[in-house]
Amino acid sequence: MNLTSSYSAKSSWLSLRKLALTMAVSAVAMLGYANGANAAYGNVTKESLVDPSILKIDEIKFLGEKVDYDFVLQDESGADFKLGSMIGKPLVLAFSYYTCDGACSVINKNLAETLKGVERWKIGQDYNVLTVSFDQNDTPATLVDFMEKSGFSGGQLPSGWKMTTMREKENIEKLTGSMGFKFFWSPRDALFLHPNVYIMLSPKGRVTRYLYGGTITPTDMELAITKAMGEKIAAANVIDFVVGACYSYNYKDGKYTINIPLFVAAGGLIFGLLLIAGSFSYMKFRRVKHEI
């Protein structure tokens, strides 16, 4: 291989690599924009598409953590009971707020439908379900209204499922924070931003799994309950994260919608990485060819 061809090949390789890196950096920047530009506290897009990135749970930090049994909850009748009374068997925990017009009633309805498909385990017998409000303004009265909106006519919950408020409002953030659940008030839209997630606790009260609302199946729930029984911890898989990230809840339409900017950014990032790999393979092939 002569000096001219070697220089030409090197220049082509550098040009390709520069182009690929530029595209990859641009994709990362776009991804960051899609994840954060319009998702700051109190700054929701005109279409009210809430980006889930600011609400992401640090699973590595909180998986395996044990919750405090002594938190005092109140049911729809105003009766007190401790969180610890719901533990001793797997517990599916959902945080909601009861004046919500959108996602909160949806995730509780979806949970009820999902649990109907869990055949191996019976609610109230093998596991419990608990919905807790993170809004300090919620009362047993707003709770009763929420139960109606969530499809529990006459306030009739399945045996083993309780919907509650916190008696000591100052303990709300202590409970949510102990599981990595974050929520923010948006003054402009007059609503809370929060993740749509079910948190699985083991019989010993340890966090064993996060299941993201809108993406789970009865099989997912059944497996999560089974693992919780054995005190087995499992992080959300890649599919859970991708699907959860690609869908945002549209408060205007009252449904989940695809996060288009995230798809575009991810596509650009993947293309950039493929271009780097392809150009590397091409230059390696040319080098071997010239050596021959």
- Residues tagged in the binding site annotation for Cu cation: 100, 104
Placement of tokens 């923010």 in the chain:
184
Taking the alpha carbons of 268, 274, 280, 284 in that order, is the dihedral positive or negative? negative
Cα gap 4→1, rounded to integer Å: 8
What is the rounded distance in angstroms from the CA atom of residue 132 to the CA atom of residue 166?
7
- The annotation places the binding site at 100, 104
Integer Cα distance of 74 and 144 in angstroms: 12
What phi, psi does 122 have (nearest 5°)? -110, 130
Contacting residues for 147 by C-beta, under 8 A, at least 6 apart: 76, 155, 157, 163
Rounded CA-CA distance 199/208 in Å is 8
